[in-house]
Amino acid sequence: MAHGDELVVDNVYGWDELALAFGFKPKWLGAVGGMAPRPDHGALILVTHPGGGKSFDYNDHWDDETGELVYTGRGQEGDQTLEGANRHLAENRYRNFVFAGAGTKRLKYLGQARCTGTEWAEAPGRDGLPRKVLRFRLRIDREETPTEVAITVAKFFGGGESDAHRDLKLQIAHDPTLIGLPPDAAPSVEHRFLSPDRADLVFKLADGRVVAVEVELEGLANTLVGAWQAAKYRTLVALQEGWPIGDARAGGVLAAHSIPERVRAFCREHGIACAEVPRT
């Protein structure tokens, strides 16, 4: 096998076989846990145990409605963080190879997955205490359509997402108070709608509201496009939730380091909130 490319879906592999495919010592897989980054191979190995693992139950499960795997992030005690392997998965930085436990030192290959959304939840840790955990929604072996690929490219103007844009997006996901939302607002990063559109962030609030956030950095052209995007995503939120278009429970926010007055005026006219986030 070369970099996992020859893995066959539904086949069961031993740790020694996977060690050869991804370049590590077999014992390392037992020590590293359920998320094993292999940057040199452009891979993130994910191990899931829907129904409960032997040593610790992360409560991974399949969503019967969407067919996606709901996968809990790394960390067994204390609040999980959107850093390290968790961040790699949220951003789809590598190819995500998903395996399910299939006996002692054996894993069943489920396929490559793409993270379609990230949410915060509360669950007990190994010590039994409640803590914040990350739930990743993984769509396995789903190829993007040409339309989706085109939209993804167009979204970032053909240049890919910059580090500054990604950092600001994740900063807001971690602390929604930066844009005027409650601290317990639950974020979904790179939220995918039924259409091919993806919003930078969508927050679910305890009072039932759902708010889409378009993140830009600065500049008249970029923030004006961002304001239009926020208006579109607000409409898509209403459709997603089964609400009438224009329902007050669906919100839109434009977030940037600076927003020109012309863009602010457009947002006021169309009911889009503006939030300037200071540089760190």
Instruction: For residue 160, name the pLDDT band (cuts at 50, 70, 90).
Output: low
- Which pLDDT belongs to residue 3? 54
**Structure-model confidence comparison of residues 128 and 2, the more confident one:** 128
Is 3.40.1350.10 the CATH classification of the domain at 159-280? yes
CB 240 within 8 A of CB 193: yes
**pLDDT band (50, 70, 90) for residue 54:** low
* Least confident interval from 39-43, 44-48, 88-92: 39-43
pLDDT in tens, 188-227: 888 888 887 889 999 999 999 999 999 999 999 889 999 9
User: In the predicted model, is pLDDT for residue 149 greater than 70?
Assistant: no
Asked if residue 155 has pLDDT above 70, the reply is no
Report pLDDT for 53: 54
Task: Report the chain's mean pLDDT, rounded to a whole number.
Answer: 86
- The predicted pLDDT at position 2 comes to 45
| Entry pTM | 0.54
For residue 15, give Cα distances in angstroms to 39, 47, 71, 136, 263. Answer: 18, 12, 21, 25, 55
What is the pLDDT at residue 161?
A: 64
Q: In the chain, what are the domain boundaries?
A: 1-143, 159-280
- Name the more confident of 52 and 253: 253
- The pLDDT of residue 234 is 97
Q: The tokens of 57 are what?
A: 């139950």
pLDDT of 157 strictly over 60:
no
Q: Which pLDDT does position 280 carry in this prediction?
A: 80
Where is pLDDT greater, at 148 or 22? 22
**pLDDT given for residue 104 in this prediction:** 85
CATH of 1-143, one of 3.50.50.60, 3.90.1150.10, 2.30.280.10, 3.20.20.70: 2.30.280.10
Of the pLDDT bands very low, low, confident and very high (cuts 50, 70, 90), residue 32 is confident
